[in-house]
Structure 1
Amino acid sequence: MELDDAYANAAHIPDGARYPDRWAEEAAQFRANALCALDIAYGEGPRARFDLFHPARLARGVVVFVHGGYWRMFDKSYWSHLAAGSLAQGWAVAIVSYDLCPQATITQIGDQVATAVNVIAQRVSGPIRLTGHSAGGQLVARLGAIGPNAAWKTRLAGIVPISPVADLTPLLNTSMNADLRLGAQEARAQSPVYMPAPECPVTVWVGSDERPVFIEQSQRLAQHWGCEIYVDPVKHHFDVIAGLTMPSSPLTLAVCCGHLA
Structure 2
Amino acid sequence: MRDWDDAYANSAHVPGSDKLPALWAERAASYRAGLKDFRADIAYGPGERQRFDLILPDGDSKGLVVFVHGGYWMRFDKSAWTDLAEGARHHGWTVALPSYTLTPVARISDITAEITAAIAKAAALVAGPIRLAGHSAGGHLVTRMLCDDSRLEPAVYNRIAATLSISGLHDLRPLLKTKMNETLRMTMEEAALESAALHLPRSHAPVVTAWVGGAERPEFIRQAELMANVWTGFDVPTRLTIEPGFNHFTVIDGLKDPSSPITARLVGLE
Bin of the TM-score, shorter chain as denominator length: over 0.9
Which consecutive aligned stretches of 4+ in structure 1 deviate over 3 angstroms post-superposition?
A: none
Q: CA deviation at 1:162?
A: 0.3
Q: Which amino acid aligns with 1:118?
A: A
Per-residue CA deviations over 1:213-257 (Å, capped at 9, x if unaligned) read 000111011000111100111000000000100001110111111
Q: Secondary structure at the match of 2:179?
A: coil
Partner Cα distance (2:79, 2:217) in 1: 26
- Name the CA distance, whole Å, in 1 between partners of 2:48 and 2:269: 34
Supply the distance in 1 between the matched residues of 2:88 and 2:263 (Cα, whole angstroms): 6
Task: Report the alpha carbon displacement of residue 2 of structure 1 after superposing the two structures with TM.
Answer: 4.2
Are 1:7 and 2:8 matched, yes or no? yes
State how far apart, in whole Å, the 1-side matches of 2:256 and 2:122 are. 21
CA distance in 1, matches of 2:256, 2:168: 19
Q: Which amino acid aligns with 2:158?
A: T
The aligned amino acid for 2:151 is P
Q: Distance in 1 between matches of 2:227 and 2:152?
A: 22
Check if 1:224 corresponds to 2:236. Answer: no
Q: Is 1:180–2:206 an aligned residue pair?
A: no
| TM-score normalised over the length of structure 2 | 0.94
* Cα drift, residue 197 of structure 1: 3.0
- Residue type at the aligned position of 1:256: V
Q: Give, in angstroms, the shift of residue 38 of structure 1.
A: 0.3
**Identical-residue share of aligned pairs (%):** 46
- Distance between the aligned counterparts of 1:110 and 1:221, measured in 2? 18
1:78 CA drift (Å): 0.4
Distance 1:33 1:40 in 2: 20
Cα distance between partner residues in 2 of 1:140 and 1:195: 14
Q: Deviations over 1:162-212 (max 9, x none)?
A: 000111000111010011000001001101110123511111100000000
**Given the two structures, how large is their TM-score scaled by the length of structure 1?**
0.97
Q: In 1, are the aligned partners of 2:131 and 2:267 still within 8 Å (CA)?
A: yes
Opposite residue 240 of structure 1, the aligned amino acid is V
User: Partner residue of 1:75?
Assistant: 77
Equivalent in the alignment of 1:161: 165
Per the alignment, in what secondary structure is the counterpart of residue 25 of structure 2? Answer: helix
2:95 partner SS: strand
Question: What SS does structure 2 have at the residue aligned with 1:90?
Answer: coil
Instruction: Say whether 1:197 aligns with 2:181.
Output: no
1:148 aligns with 2:148: no
Q: For residues 53 and 46 of structure 2, what CA distance do their matches in structure 1 show?
A: 16
Shift of 1:18: 1.2
In 2: Cα distance, 1:147 partner to 1:29 partner: 36
Paired residue secondary structure (1:257): coil
Q: Over aligned residue pairs, what C-alpha RMSD do you find? A: 1.1
Counterpart selection for 1:253 from 264, 267, 270:
264
1:244 match: 255
Pairing 1:124-143 to 2, within 5 Å after superposition: 124-143=126-145
Match of 2:46 in 1: 44
Q: Which amino acid aligns with 1:109?
A: I
Tell me the alpha carbon deviations over residues 77-110 of structure 1, each in whole angstroms, 9 at most, x when there is no partner.
0000000000001000000100000000000000
CA contact (8 A) 2:145 2:152 kept: no
Q: Which one of the candidate residues 236, 246, 265 is aligned to 1:235?
A: 246
- Aligned partner letter, 1:246: D
Aligned to 1:117: 119
SS of structure 2 residue aligned to 1:229: strand
Counterpart CA distance in 2 for 1:211 and 1:2 is 13
Give the C-alpha shift of residue 149 in structure 1.
4.3
Q: Conserved in 2, the CA contact under 8 Å of 1:158 and 1:258? A: no
